[in-house]
Chains A and B, each alone.
Chain A
Amino acid sequence: MAAVTKQNVNAAMVFEFMLKVIDVMQSYFGKISEENIKNNFVLIYELLDEILDFGYPQNTDTGVLKTFITQQGIKSQTKEEQAQITSQVTGQIGWRREGIKYRRNELFLDVLEYVNLLMSPQGQVLSAHVAGKVVMKSYLSGMPECKFGINDKIVMEAKGKGMTTEDPARSGKPVVVIDDCQFHQCVKLSKFETEHSISFIPPDGEFELMRYRTTKDISLPFRVIPLVREVGRTKMEVKVVLKSNFKQSLLGQKIEVKIPTPLNTSGVQLICLKGKAKYKASENAIVWKIKRMAGLKETQLSAEIELLETDTKKKWTRPPISMNFEVPFAPSGFKVRYLKVFESKLNYSDHDVIKWVRYIGRSGLYETRC
C-alpha cells in the first residue's frame, strides 16, 4: 500500500481508508487483479469519485454505495427516490434503507474467535489472547431496534448486585472478562459507555457487529509438546505430542501442525499415530494434518530428519511450531445471552424472529517454541 501527500496527514486514517477501498472494490468485483481493474475501470472511477473528495474520505459503506452506484448505471429515478438516496448517504442511519420487507424475519449470529498463543518449549504460556468477533446476518423487516446481551463480567456483576442473592460467580454461570471491544458504526457508543448495553439498528444482510479481545481464563483447545534432539551434525530427531483439551463430546476439525525443519534437510522419515504427515521441502516444514479429533485425546508424531553437511557456521534458529484448527465452541467463554428485536411500526414481535447462534473457535497465531 502506498499513498502520497503534501501535508501532515492523519496516517492512521490514510491506511484505514486504503484498506476500506480494498474492501469496497472486493465487494463490487471480487479479487483485485489487473484484469478486474481493467474490466471495471469506469466503475472504479465512479467509486473513487464518491468515496473520496479532495482527499477527504466520504461514505465508504458498501451497503449504501450499492444503492446508487450500480454496475449497470443509474436508471432514471423518481424524485423521491433521489431524495432518499441522498438522505441515506449523508444521514444518521446511513447503513440501512427504509422499507425493507421479509416474509420470514430471521437472524444469524456467528461468534468467531481466533485464539493466539505463544508458548515456551517448557509449556509456559508466554502470551495468549483471543480476538473474537460477532458477525450478524439479519433479514429483518422495517427499522428494527436490536438489543444484544453477552455474559460480560461487568454487566453480569451489576445484574448480580441487583438481584442480591445471586452472585454470578457463585451461581456457576461463567462470565467473560472482555479487555476491550469495538463496535460496528451502527452501535450507539454513548449508550454502551453509560449503560453498558449494546443497542443498534442493524444494516440489512451480513455485517460485523462487534470485535473484542480477551486475555483471561482462555481455554486453550490444543497443546503441542515438542521434543527436539540433535544427533550429531547430520541427524535430528523430533517428537511432537498433540493433546486436545476440551469436552470429550466435541470434535476439533481441520487440524494442521507445521513443524519447521532446517534448510539443509535432505530427507525425513515420519511416523504418526493419527492423520497424515508429509515433509514439504518447499515450505521447509513437516505438515501434519488430522481431519478430526475428539476432546481429551492425545496423539503423537515422530520424525527423523537427515541433514546435509554444511560449512556455514551459523546455527539454525528454530522457528516455532505453528498449528491451525477449528473447534465448535468459544475458547474465551464468550456467550450470547440474548438478542432482542423491537420494531414498533410493523406488527411482528421478538418472538416471531427466528434466531440462530453458532460458536466457532479458530487458531490465530498459535505457536509453540521448540
Chain B
Amino acid sequence: MTDSKYFTTTKKGEIFELKSELNNDKKEKKKEAVKKVIASMTVGKDVSALFPDVVNCMQTDNLELKKLVYLYLMNYAKSQPDMAIMAVNTFVKDCEDPNPLIRALAVRTMGCIRVDKITEYLCEPLRKCLKDEDPYVRKTAAVCVAKLYDINSSMVEDQGFLDQLKDLLSDSNPMVVANAVAALSEINESSSSGSPLVEMTPQTVNKLLTALNECTEWGQVFILDSLANYSPRDEREAQSTCERITPRLAHANAAVVLSAVKVLMKFMEMLPSDSEFVTSLTKKLAPPLVTLLSSEPEVQYVALRNINLIVQKRPDILKHEMKVFFVKYNDPIYVKLEKLDIMIRLASQANVAQVLSELKEYATEVDVDFVRKAVRAIGRCAIKVEQSAERCVSTLLDLIQTKVNYVVQEAIVVIKDIFRKYPNKYESIISTLCENLDTLDEPEARASMIWIIGEYAERIDNADELLESFLEGFADENSQVQLQLLTAIVKLFLKRPSDTQELVQQVLSLATQDSDNPDLRDRGFIYWRLLSTDPAAAKEVVLAEKPLISEETDLLEPTLLDELICHISSLASVYHKPPSAFVEGRAGIRKSLPASARAGSEGVESTESQAAPAVIPAQDSLIGDLLSMDIGGPTVAPVAAAPAAPFGSAAMDLLGGGLDTLLGETSSSPAPPSALAASSAALLGDIFGAPAASATYVAPKTTWLPAEKGKGLDISGSFVRRNGQLFMDLTFSNKAMQPMLGFAIQFNKNSFGITPASPLQVQSPLPPGVAADASLPLATTGPVQKMEPLTTLQVAVKNNVDVMYFACQIPMHALFVEDGQMDKRVFLATWKEIPAQNEVQYTITNVMHSADTVVSRMQQNNVFTIAKRNVEGQDMLYQSLKLTNGIWVLNELKIQPGNPNITLSLKSRTPNVAEGVFQAYDNILHG
C-alpha cells in the first residue's frame, strides 16, 4: 500500500467530498482524508477552505494524524488567522500531554505559526516546556525561543525567555545545550541593537566544551560556531580551549572539522607565533584539511574555498601538501579551478618543477576556462618564483607552438607580465610571438601584443608595419586596444623618429578627431602637445622606467581576509565576501581576529580602538558641504594629479607613471625635515606626556577612519598645541595592497573656523603595511559654521584611491589660547555681568589633586588662575581662559581636601561651549 494514490484525485467537487470525509466518524477514513488534503497542499492546490474541518481532526491520540494536521496548520494559519485561534486550545492542551513526543510536537508547531494572536498564547506553554522534565521537550523548546524571537523580539526579551535559555546552557543533556547555543547565536546575530544580547563567560565556555564531547555532530557544529565568537581572556585560556577542540579534527563530518578549524585559526592569533604549541597545532591542521578533499564535490568546493583563505593567512600549514591539489580528470570544473588557484598560492622554489609539469598537462585539456586558467597560472608561477621563470617561459613557448587559439592568446597576455617583471631577459622570444599576430582576436591579447611591440620597437625590424596593420581597423577596436596602439606608436616614433612620422600623425588624428572616447582623446592630445613642444620631455615621460609589478596577484586585502577567517565554513568564506555584502537588512557585527597578545606591547603608537562615537552626518550632505566650501574658502591643499598606478593590471597606463613624476613632485618628495621633527616630538609627547604630567595634555590618538571604510587607509589622530600653534597630529597606515600617494586634506566649515595652515605632508608613496606620521599646522581663519556638537570637525582626505570622509572631535583644550589671562578686576566685573542663567555647574569625579597641582596643570594648558581663596576649609580657584575665536570662559572651582570630587562652575557669554570646557578640565585633570 503506498501513498501515491492520494495524489490522484482530480475530479470536480473534490473539496466538498474531502469535507464530508474529514467529518466522517471512522478514524481510518479521517486519516485518509487528511492525507489527501496534505497531498493537495503539497502539489500547490489551495485547500485552505477546509481549515475548520481539518482543525476539528486535531484532537486525536493518533500521533501520525496529529502531525499531519499540524503540518496543515503551519501552512494555512497565516491565511486564516482568525480561525487559527480555534487551534490554540488544543495546542495548550497538547503541551501538557503525558507523551513527551506530543508535548514537543505542540511547542515545535506553535513556534512555526506566525500569527500574532497565537504567539501571545505561546508564552505560558513555552515557559513550562523550557523546564520540562524530558530533554526532548526542552531541546525543542530551546529552538522555539529562537522562532519566537524572529516573530516578536521584544516579547522574548520582556518575558525573560533569554535568561531561561541561558540556563539551558548548563543543562545536563548535551543536545539541549547544543540547541540552546544555536538559538542564542541566532538571536545574537539578529539582535536589532547590533550588540550581542548574551555575553559568553569563561564558565559557559567551559560547559560548552564539556557538552561538545557528547552531543550529535550538528550540535558540535553549533557549539564550535558559537565558540568562534568568543574571545578568550588571555593566552592560557586560548591555548587550553584549543587543546580541547583539537580532537574534533578527526570527526567524520566535514562541517565539524571546518568549524573546529575556524576556532583554532582564530584563537591561534592570540598565541605567540613562535611557540611550540602553535607549531604543533599547525602540523595537526594539515591532515584533516587534506582529508576534506576526498569528500563529495560540493563539500570539497566549500573546503577548497576555505583552504584558499587559510593558505593566504598561514601558508605554513599546507606548504608540503601540494600534491593533493593536483587536478583529477573527473573533478567537476568548479573544483578544478579552485585547486588550480591554491596550487599557485602554494608554489615555491621547492615544488615549482612539479607544479609546472602539472600545469603543462592541464593546458592541453578540453575545458576552455580551465585551460586558460592553467596558462595564466604558469605566468603567475614565473612571476612568483624567479628561479622558475626560464622554465615557465619555455613552457609557454611550447604551448604557443600548439597553435590552439585561446592557448596562444592567453600565453601572450602572461608573457607580457613576465616581460614587465623581468625586463631585458626573455626578449629573444619576441619573434615567435610576432608569428602569431594574425590569430589574436581577443582585446586583451591584442593589447598585450601591441604593448610588447611598442615596448621593444627597436628590436623588431618591422614594428612599423605590424603596428600599421593594426591601425587599419582602428575604429573597430576595443578601447583598451586603441589606447595601447596609440601609446605603442608614440613609443615607436620616439625610438625611430625618422621613418614613422606619418604613422604617428595618423594615429594622433585618429585618436583626437575621430574618436568619441574621452580617455583616448585626452591621451592623444597630451602626446600631441608633448611631442610638438618638447620631444625630449616626451621621451622622458613616455619611455620612463616602469615600476615592477608585484609578485602576488589577487590576494585578498588583509582586513577582509581576517574577517573572512572568522567566517570559515560559512557562506561568506565561500563567496570571499563579508556577510554584509550579501545578507539583507541586518547590519550585524563585523568580526575581526583577536589581537595578538604581544603586538600591543611592541607597537609604539597605540591606536586606541574604542574611538569616541563621532557624529557623522549623512554622506550626501557632507559632500555637498565640502563642495560649497571649495568655492568659498581658500583651497589650501595642492591637489596633485596622480592617477592610479595599475600594478599588475593588464591595461597598463604608461602615461600615468610618467605624469606622476612630472606633476606629482609635491606628493612624491619626502616630507620636509621640519614636519618629521615635529611629528617625532609629538610622539615623544605621547610617551612622556601622561606620566610626567609636565607637558601639555595630549589626548591619545583615536582612530578616525578605520581601514575598512577608508579603502585600506587607516587614519588615527589627535589635536595638540605646540608653541602657541594648533596642530593636527595624524598617523596614516596603509593597510591595502598597493602603495598610496597623492594625499591631500580639506576641512568642512566648522564652529571654530579651523583650516589647514599648510598643505598636508605625508610620506608618499606610502608603501603597503607602513604607517607614517604627519603633523598638520592649523589656522583658525577659515569659514565658520556652527556644528552640533560644537567641537565636530568634518574632514575629507584624498589619495590616489578615493576621497574619504570622516568626522572627529576637537578637544576644547587645544583651542585655549596663550593670552587667556584676565585682569582681576575685569574678571570680577565680567563674572557679575554675565547673567546667572549662563552659569553651568559640573562635578569632576575621582581626582586627587590639591589646589596647587590643579593650578599648575591647568596653567600648562592655557587656563590661568586669577585668584585663590580658602573658604571654610575649601579651596576656591578662579580661572579664566580664552578660545581661539575670542570667547572668554570664567571658571570657579571648589576643591575640598580629601574629597575626590571637584565642583566646577562655568560662566560664559556663549554657554554652549561649557560642555566642551568641562570635558577639557576632566581630561586634563585625569590625564
Contacts from A to B (Cβ < 8 Å): 1, 5-13, 15-17, 19, 35, 38-43, 45-46, 49, 53-54, 56-61, 68, 73-74, 76-77, 79, 82-83, 85-87, 89-92, 94, 118, 126-127, 129, 131, 179-185, 188-190, 192-193, 208, 211, 213, 313-315, 317, 319-320, 322, 365, 367, 369
User: Can you name 6 A-B residue pairings with CB atoms under 8 Å?
Assistant: A1-B298, A8-B567, A8-B582, A13-B218, A185-B217, A189-B213
Taking a contact as CB atoms under 8 Å apart, the answer to whether A82 and B3 are in contact is no
Q: Find residues 561-616 in chain B having any chain A CB closer than 8 Å to their own CB.
A: 567, 569-574, 579, 582-584
Q: Is B303 an interface residue (CB 8 A)?
A: yes
Which residues of B117-151 have CB atoms within 8 Å of chain A's CB atoms?
A: 134-137, 139-140, 143-144, 146-147
Chain A nearest Cβ from B140, distance in angstroms: 7
In the complex, A80→B365 CA distance in Å? 64
Q: Given A12-B302, A46-B67, verify A183-B135 contact (CB < 8 Å).
A: no
| Count of A-B residue pairs with CB < 8 Å | 228
A74 touches B63 (CB 8 A): yes
How far does the alpha carbon of A17 sit from the alpha carbon of B42 in the complex, in Å?
22
Contact B250 A49 (CB under 8 A): no
Q: Which residues in B have their C-beta under 8 angstroms from that of A58? A: 139, 175, 179, 216, 218
B330 at the binding interface (Cβ < 8 Å): yes
Assess the A86–B583 pair: CB atoms within 8 A.
no
B250 A189 Cβ-Cβ under 8 A = yes
- With contacts A9-B571, A42-B64, A213-B294 taken as known, whether A94 is within 8 angstroms of B329 at the C-beta atoms is no
Decide if A15 touches B299 in the complex (CB within 8 Å). yes
B136 touches A90 (CB 8 A): yes
B252 lies within 8 A of A185 (CB):
yes
What's the least CB distance linking A370 to chain B, in Å?
12
A90 touches B135 (CB 8 A): yes
Structural contact, B216 and A185, CB atoms closer than 8 A = yes
Shortest Cβ gap from B343 to chain A (Å): 12
How many angstroms from the CA of A67 to the CA of B175 in the assembled complex? Answer: 18
Q: Contacts of A87 on B, CB cut-off 8 Å?
A: 134-136
B169 at the interface (CB under 8 A from A): no
Query: What is the bound-complex CA distance between A8 and B63, given in angstroms?
Result: 35
The reply to whether A184 and B252 contact each other, CB–CB distance below 8 Å, is yes
Cβ < 8 Å to A, chain B residues 693-725: none
Binds A, one of B284-292, B668-676, B825-833: B284-292
Contacts of B255 in A (CB 8 A): 10, 12-13, 15-17
- The B50-68 residues at the A interface (CB cut-off 8 A) are 61-64, 67-68
Point out the residue from B100, B182, B583 that lies within 8 Å of A83, measured CB to CB. B100
Asked if A315 and B330 sit within 8 Å, CB to CB, the answer is: no
Chain B nearest CB: distance from A107 CB in Å?
Answer: 20
Of A79, A91, A192, A369, the most chain B CB neighbours within 10 A belong to A91
| Residues in chain A near residue B358, CB distance under 8 A | 126
Residues of A within 8 A of B402 (CB): 315
Q: Verify A9–B143 contact, CB threshold 8 A.
A: no
Residue in A10, A60, A91 whose Cβ sees the most chain B Cβ within 10 Å: A10
Q: Lowest 7 CB-CB distances: which A-B pairs, in order?
A: A180-B287, A86-B136, A8-B579, A13-B255, A39-B2, A57-B218, A38-B4
A41, A126, A213 pick with most chain B CB within 10 angstroms: A41
Q: Is B326 an interface residue (CB 8 A)?
A: yes
B101 pairs with A45, CB closer than 8 A:
no
* Separation of A1 and B569 alpha carbons in the complex (Å): 18
A211 in contact with B251 given A53-B140, A56-B218, A313-B403 (CB within 8 Å): no
Question: Which of the residues B7, B216, B569 comes within 8 Å of A13, measured between beta carbons?
Answer: B569
Contacting pair A16 B253 (CB below 8 A): yes
Whole-angstrom CA separation of A5 from B575 in the bound complex:
14
Partner of A193, one of B7, B63, B246: B246
Interface residues in B277-323 (C-beta closer than 8 Å to A): 287-288, 290-291, 294, 296, 298-299, 302-303, 323
Is the pair B403, A41 in contact by a Cβ cutoff of 8 Å?
Answer: no
A180/B291 in contact, CB under 8 A: yes
Residue among A49, A54, A213 with the most chain B CB within 10 A?
A54
| Complex Cα spacing A19 to B583, Å | 25
Question: Which chain B residue has the least Cβ–Cβ distance from A61?
Answer: B216
Q: Which residues 240-258 of B sit at the A interface, judged by CB distance below 8 A?
A: 244, 246-248, 250-255, 257-258
Q: Tell me the smallest distance from the CB of B254 to a CB of chain A, in Å.
A: 5
B557 in the interface (beta carbon within 8 A)? no
* A53-B108, A74-B63 given; 19 more Cβ-contact pairs under 8 Å: A6-B583, A7-B579, A12-B255, A15-B302, A38-B3, A40-B2, A45-B68, A56-B143, A85-B101, A86-B100, A86-B134, A90-B136, A90-B176, A118-B328, A179-B290, A182-B288, A189-B251, A213-B294, A322-B329
Q: How far is the CB of A29 from chain B (nearest CB, A)?
A: 10
- A residues in contact with B248, CB < 8 Å: 189
B921 CB–A CB distance under 8 Å: no
In whole angstroms, how far apart are the Cα atoms of A211 and B288 in the complex?
12
Q: Is B531 close to A, CB under 8 A?
A: no
Contact of A42 (CB < 8 Å), options: B3, B135, B139, B299: B3
Kindly identify which residue among B135, B225, B244, B328 contacts A365, using a CB–CB cutoff of 8 Å: B328
CB-CB under 8 A from B329, the residues of chain A are 319-320, 322, 365, 367
Q: Is B111 an interface residue (CB 8 A)?
A: yes
**B4 contacts which chain A residues (CB < 8 A)?**
35, 38-39
Cβ contact of B294, chosen from A16, A38, A57, A131, cutoff 8 A: A131
Contact B330 A365 (CB under 8 A): yes
Q: Which single member of A89, A190, A213, A315 contacts B364 (CB below 8 Å)?
A: A315
Min C-beta distance of B7 to chain A, whole Å:
6
**What is the distance, in angstroms, from B298's C-beta to the closest C-beta of chain A?**
5
Cα(A94)–Cα(B71), bound, Å: 27
Q: B268 contacts the other chain (Cβ, under 8 Å)?
A: no
> Using a CB-CB cutoff of 8 Å, which residues 385-408 of chain B contact chain A?
402-404
Contact with A along B1-24 (1 / 0, CB 8 A): 011101100000000000000000
In this complex, the member of B7, B252, B254 whose beta carbon has the largest number of chain A beta carbons within 10 angstroms is B252
Q: Are A59 and B182 in contact (CB under 8 A)?
A: no
Question: What's the least CB distance linking A169 to chain B, in Å?
Answer: 22
Set A59, A313, A320, A367: member contacting B216, Cβ < 8 A = A59
Q: Is the pair A11, B570 in contact by a Cβ cutoff of 8 Å?
A: yes
Give the distance in Å from the alpha carbon of A159 to the alpha carbon of B246 in the complex.
24
Which residue of A57, A92, A184, A213 is within 8 Å of B291 (Cβ)?
A213
Are A79 and B101 closer than 8 Å at their CB atoms? Answer: no
Q: Which of B37-93 contact A (CB under 8 A)?
A: 38-39, 42, 61-64, 67-68, 71
Are B247 and A89 in contact, CB atoms less than 8 angstroms apart?
no
Establish whether residues A90 and B139, one from each chain, have CB atoms under 8 Å apart when the complex forms.
yes
Contact across chains for B173 and A192 when beta carbons are under 8 A apart: no
Q: A89 contacts B146, CB within 8 Å?
A: no
A59 contacts B101, C-beta separation under 8 Å: no
Contact for B254 among A12, A73, A315, A320, CB less than 8 A: A12
Residue of A nearest to B323 (CB): A127
B98 within 8 A of A: yes
Is the Cβ of B176 less than 8 Å from the Cβ of A73? no
Residues of chain B lying within 8 A (CB to CB) of residue A16: 217, 253-255, 299
User: Is residue B259 within 8 Å, beta carbon to beta carbon, of the partner chain?
Assistant: yes
Q: How far is the CA of A5 from the CA of B583 in the complex (A)?
A: 9
Q: Is the CB of B71 within 8 A of A13?
A: no
Interface contact A38-B176, CB-CB below 8 Å: no
Cβ of A77: which chain B residues have Cβ within 8 Å of it? 99
Which of chain B's residues have a CB closer than 8 A to the CB of A367?
328-329
Known contacts A35-B4, A40-B3; A181/B35 CB under 8 A: no
B811 located at the interface, meaning its Cβ lies under 8 Å from any Cβ of chain A in the complex: no
Across the interface, do A8 and B583 meet the contact criterion of CB distance under 8 Å?
Answer: yes
Our pick among A41, A53, A90, A91 for the contact of B3 (Cβ within 8 Å) is: A41
Query: Which residues of chain A are within 8 angstroms of B99 by Cβ–Cβ distance?
Result: 77, 82
Q: Does B324 belong to the interface (CB within 8 Å)?
A: yes
Return chain A residues, CB-CB under 8 Å to B567: 8
- Residues from chain B with a CB closer than 8 A to the CB of A35 are 4
For the complex, give the distance between the alpha carbons of A35 and B4 in Å. 8
Minimum Cβ distance to chain B for residue A184 (Å): 7
B788 at the interface (CB under 8 A from A): no
Q: CB-CB < 8 A to B324: which residues of A?
A: 127, 129
